[in-house]
Amino acid sequence: MSFPLKETDESRSFLLNCLTSFIFVSLVVFFALYTDLGVSPDGLDHLNFSINNIPKINLIGAAQDDFPIRYIHFYSTGYGYHYLLNLVYHSLEFVSSGSINETYWFTPPFLEGRQTAGVPAAKANLLVVIRLLSVIFTCLQVYMLKKICEILEIKNIYPLTLLWLSLSMMFPFLHGNASRDVLVNFLSICFVYNVLAFHIKREVKNIKYALLILAIAPFVQLSLCAFLVTVLASYALLSLKSFGAMIRETWKIILFKRGYFFPVLLCIVAIPATTDILNKIIQYKSIRPRCVQMFSYEECMEKNATFKVYQDIRKMKIKQERIDLGEYFEKWYPGLFMRIFGIMGHRSYISPKWFNYVLITIISLLFTLSATLAIIYKQKNSLLLGVIALFYFFVIFYFVNRKIYLFTGVMNTAFQGRYVFPVYPLMVLFAHSCFGYFNRITYYLYVFLLFGILSATYFMFIDSVHFGSILAIH
């Protein structure tokens, strides 16, 4: 599918891969070092929850005092990430002989001058390590994206994808901070790779890796489950015969026809998620219990800030007439991308509208062109990425953002961009796959265009009045 490269072009392509990888990773590290405390979505909440309030898993039992009401939204959507952070914290505490709680090990820019501002050493040290882990998970994620390019034989598109992800500021910003989305996005890319690898190579090991991700998904986050179901539904839609082969192989694994070790391992891995789901169903008749199902309305209003905000917004907007589906989509589509090309956290930055509309138009046209060419040339393998992207964007649009809008009456609620990040790199990759049909001159001209847009994006960011409120640069 990719255009043929001469030897000189191959060396150029290698250098371009290295350069774009360096640019992307540098941006992620930059945000990890310089993003101010409390800016990234729920970052400090993740730390507090992981250090002080990690919940116990029990098969039968209603929420007790050790489930803090103010963090109930974590309980209702999975908390595997917080168990990981809790494990990291106790490991660091053991290795350091308790010094994690007493002294600052390393003072990155976002902590300079804050030792006397009431930031505990334990929290500061853990935050540094977690941001480092986020960078590592992100590097692994883009590596798996490269593997997808290779297996689809569109590897020349990889640097274009990295450049576009770099100018999507919310992406490197989020992936340089403490966020469970980083783990979700990494597992999402791994799952898609293994589905594609089985489809193309028919190797059973890829089914085993995919099953492991499926087993831990409910414990990590329920949105990950929604994404995995979207991938499988898209796969079945495009390649029913291949999907049937995957089901048959899966059945053989479950029936111990492919050995005994893996099914036993799968059961062990699935225990936390299964236990958690059973507990919720037994106690609350729901996989995602609401705060008022677990505590009284008064307790939720008093102690759960998220619940109170939504209730207050709803009271103010409940009589307001809601716009219809078509009008909502017209506002949703550009609104979502403006926050992907900007930053949406507890403090936000959105670049000028005209600039955002240029980027939205480019990616929309490229996606449409790539879909058309993939259909004409019957490139089912790469077309799967486009179908997954469309399917998941619809899920976010209709079942997440629109549902919240109908409840609150506020248009911009949950327009954070990060909810589509499990599929966003795949969408970007597929949108740029059309360059595999063009000649090298068109390809390199577009590369230079992206370099220019990337430079303009960050110059505008630096000139913004919100710059200092997001980054700890003194």
Reported as a single tens digit per residue, the pLDDT across 125-146 is 999 999 999 999 999 999 999 9
pLDDT at position 76 is: 60
Nearest to 23 by CA among 202, 199, 159: 159
375-388, pLDDT tens digit by residue?
999 999 999 999 99
Q: Which tokens in the block code for residue 21?
A: 């990888």
The helix/strand/coil state of 349 is strand
Residue with tokens 């993740």: 46
Residue with tokens 């990425």: 385
What's the full length of the chain, in residues? Answer: 474
Domain assignment present for residue 13? The answer is yes
Other CB atoms closer than 10 Å to residue 289's CB: what's the count?
19
Domain assignment present for residue 397? The answer is yes
For the segment 320-332, the average pLDDT, to the nearest whole number, is: 89
Domain assignment present for residue 307? The answer is no
Nearest to 350 by CA among 336, 333, 329, 331: 336
User: Within 13 Å of residue 247, how many CA atoms lie on the same side as its CB?
Assistant: 10
Q: Which residues contact 341 (CB under 8 A, 6 or more apart)?
A: 167, 168, 169, 170, 350, 351, 355, 356, 359, 360, 457
Domain assignment present for residue 267? The answer is yes
For the segment 229-252, the average pLDDT, to the nearest whole number, is: 95
- Determine if the pTM surpasses 0.85: yes
Q: Using CA atoms, how far apart are residues 457 and 474, in angstroms rounded to an integer?
A: 22
34-93, pLDDT tens digit by residue?
999 889 988 888 888 788 767 666 555 566 555 666 666 555 667 788 888 989 999 999
Instruction: Name which of 81-85, 185-189, 289-293 the model is least confident about.
Output: 289-293
Domain assignment present for residue 265? The answer is yes
For the segment 431-453, the average pLDDT, to the nearest whole number, is: 93
Query: Environment class of residue 78 by beta-carbon count within 10 Å: exposed (0-12), middle (13-18) or buried (19+)?
Result: buried
Instruction: Name which of 193-197, 297-301, 342-346 the model is least confident about.
Output: 297-301
Cα dihedral sign for 295, 301, 307, 311?
Answer: positive
Domain that holds residue 59: 7-301+320-470
Listed ranges 37-41, 232-236, 261-265; the one with the highest mean pLDDT: 232-236
* Structural domains in the chain (count): 1
Q: Using CA atoms, how far apart are residues 78 and 287, in angstroms rounded to an integer?
A: 10
Q: Which residues contact 326 (CB under 8 A, 6 or more apart)?
A: none
Domain assignment present for residue 315? The answer is no
Domain assignment present for residue 371? The answer is yes
Domain assignment present for residue 306? The answer is no
Bridge partners of 471, per DSSP, are 35
pLDDT at position 70 is: 67
pLDDT at position 101 is: 87
